[in-house]
Structure 1
Amino acid sequence: MLSVAACGGDDHSGSSFGGLTFPTGASTPGTSAGTEGTGGTGGATDSPEPTGGGASTGSDPTVTSGAAEDSTAPTDPTVPNPDGLPTGSECTDPAQCMTGNCYKIPLPVDGLPPGICSECDADLDCVNADLGTACTVDAMTLGAKCTYGEAGSFCESQAACQGDLFCVALLDGADGLLPHTCSECRTDADCGGGGLRCLAVIDVVKYSGVKHCAVPGSVGKGGLCPLTDGDVMCVTSKCVVFNVVGNLDVGVCGDCKTDADCAMGQTCSPPKFQGGFVPSACM
């Protein structure tokens, strides 16, 4: 299911509709603080026993004093900024976070925090930490977590996704507005024919989305349908195209296209976006 968000994206501002706002170190080995033994005293029997916590005696130069070692504790590579804000804290700059990653959801959704200190804010963070291949939104924290490129994970390149998935923009014409996600298909051609179409499913609540191969007649009201010949994909057989913003048009399955599709005295209310895609309806 598709939610309007993306991995490691930039902050956007601009026109809005509904709830969316569209944009125009290594450890240091310990060293001994003691001194090497001076060896024997030539066999003198009245010389005092050496003191000072175990200085070497005899001719063994490898025995050193028991003085405390001067060592540097190893640092945790996953916490490059120990004095920074903990994971889950709101942030505006990576330098504020213990992890050095301030994640900003790449979706034009109103009301989101400026950023959340997270374990990643780019796919490479996950690869370098051996935590996965893709950095994607965590709907529970609004921060980011690493995944292994499962379907629905945000992605910056094909390398982030599992081998049978594609890293694609959720909606045609929305590249740069919506994130890329690891999806089942890029175009209808990837669905193998049989009337299957490659459609986006957006889950605004989970800030997630994916493109998948949909069977004709399977898309319910409020679901997205193709701009061309989309009626056949809807349960209601009515795919209504409306303009979201700028040059971005989407098709949404609904109850009506015109007033003629409604009962006498009713009018057809067009689709809109309000906390999600709202289908057309007879009012």
Structure 2
Amino acid sequence: MSTFSVVSALWLAACGSDRDPLDSATGASNGPTGGPSGGPSGGPSGDPTDGGTSSGTDTGGQSHGSCEQYLECVAVVSPDALPTAESTFGPAGTYWQSSPEVAQGCIDSCASSLNTFGMLYPEEPACGGGGVGTTGEPTTGWATTTQGSDSDPSGGPMTTDVGPCTDEPGHPQDGACTDSSGCGCSSGKCFVVPVLGGFCSECLVDADCDGGGCTVANPLAGVGAACNDGGPGDGCQSDAVCSDASNDVCGTLYEVPGIITVSTCGECETNADCGGQTPVCAPKYDLANFGGRFDCVAQGSVPDGFGCQNDAACASGHCGSASVMGLLQFGACGECGADGDCSPGEQCVGPEVDLDSGQVFGATCQ
């Protein structure tokens, strides 16, 4: 099964089953959540957000439990993600029209996410914190670590004491973990991606690595975050860790706000980074590995079905946006941008992502 078949199944299972999808990924039902590239998960029992899982689950007017507070939290700390969250967990969400078991799966997912947002934003009352509000920036960077971490305190995450460890100790690299403190990992670092799982990792941030960047965890393949040399396509947080002189720009390829951001070293991120005979910046996707990079290309040189950010890159002159479940967007060159670009009697069918093959297909006239 391809990477994107897995992500589709996990996202659907988050509210489409009476079994928590994280059971198979982490061995526990405490789901992770956090900031743009992973964040803390789990938490001691008795956390003020834990009680949400016991609320009513039918659609007859009962409370949707922790999902109500979860949406309030998202509205404050990650407003860009609110429309997607509301379409799934809001009062009109389709999952509430299903069985009580499905609804309980939604509430469990909300509780897991809210629990971790409460840890990531401890000063935000909307997320269960005791402070007076937040500007929307997490107080702990990408994720949190335990005492004894070798992360650079000036550039990495803050040290946080979250109480007793919820994981068994000694898990190896790539092993499943639920406690964002990293107490269950031999490395002392648990990289957690909301909904999709936590994995023992070499790093949480670039500062954890020596001479390179941190490639974020690939929860779809069950691979933890790892340090790299800063070469083309390697993960990064900033340009500073990109070591190849011709691929020294850290650009964001994929992003689900509030869930994960995948940035890699490449030649560019926008057209402003390019010039000469190759003035257009275009993404080169590696969906199977949840990676890729940006390259500078000649105007009108990208064929249909390959990545683009604007029409200038495409041989056809048409760059469209393909969506995966409304969460991930991929620019792809195609035959058309509207029905008027097609022959009489034909319609322009928008670009798509094939979840079985992990391929992006441009728009076509049909």
Q: So what's the TM-score if we normalise by structure 2?
A: 0.46
Kindly provide the amino acid, as one letter, of the partner of residue 87 in structure 1.
Q
Residues 1:188 and 1:172: Cα distance change in structure 2 (over 3 Å): farther
Aligned match for 1:89, one of 175, 181, 194: 175
Aligned match for 2:227, one of 139, 146, 162: 146
Kindly provide the amino acid, as one letter, of the partner of residue 267 in structure 1.
Q
Per-residue CA distance 1:126-177 (angstroms, 9 max, x = gap): 22xxxx4211147665212211111111112233211520223337998986
Name whichever structure is richer in helix by fraction.
Answer: 2
**1:198 aligned to 2:281?**
yes
Task: State the structure with bigger RCO (CA 8 A, min sep 6), 1 or 2.
Answer: 1
1:99·1:117 contact (CA, 8 Å) conserved in 2?
yes
Once the two structures are overlaid, the 10-residue window that deviates more, 167-176 or 190-199, is 167-176
Residue 134 (structure 1) aligns with? 213
Kindly provide the amino acid, as one letter, of the partner of residue 91 in structure 1.
C
Per-residue CA distance 1:247-283 (angstroms, 9 max, x = gap): x986421112233433454321112445353311123
Residues 1:209 and 1:185: Cα distance change in structure 2 (over 3 Å): same
Residue 102 (structure 1) aligns with? 190
2:281·2:313 contact (CA, 8 Å) conserved in 1?
no
Kindly provide the amino acid, as one letter, of the partner of residue 237 in structure 1.
G
Residue 187 (structure 1) aligns with? 270
CA RMSD of aligned residues (A): 4.3
Residues 1:182 and 1:270: Cα distance change in structure 2 (over 3 Å): same
CA distance in 1, matches of 2:255, 2:270: 10
CA distance in 2, matches of 1:208, 1:7: 16
Residues 1:7 and 1:241: Cα distance change in structure 2 (over 3 Å): closer
Residues 1:252 and 1:242: Cα distance change in structure 2 (over 3 Å): same
Aligned match for 1:161, one of 238, 242, 253: 242
2:321·2:331 contact (CA, 8 Å) conserved in 1?
yes
Structure number with larger C-alpha Rg: 1
Alignment of 1:55-74 (within 5 A): none
Name whichever structure is richer in strand by fraction.
Answer: 1
Residues 1:172 and 1:7: Cα distance change in structure 2 (over 3 Å): closer
Kindly provide the amino acid, as one letter, of the partner of residue 153 in structure 1.
D
Once the two structures are overlaid, the 10-residue window that deviates more, 191-200 or 173-182, is 173-182
**Percentage identity across paired residues of the two chains:** 33
Tell me the SS of whatever aligns to 1:179. Answer: strand
Structure 2 residue ranges without an equivalent (≥5): 8-34, 41-77, 88-112, 114-148, 151-166
Q: So what's the TM-score if we normalise by structure 1?
A: 0.58
Kindly provide the amino acid, as one letter, of the partner of residue 133 in structure 1.
G
Matched length:
209
Residue 261 (structure 1) aligns with? 341
Residues 1:175 and 1:133: Cα distance change in structure 2 (over 3 Å): farther
CA distance in 1, matches of 2:275, 2:258: 25
1:169·1:175 contact (CA, 8 Å) conserved in 2?
no
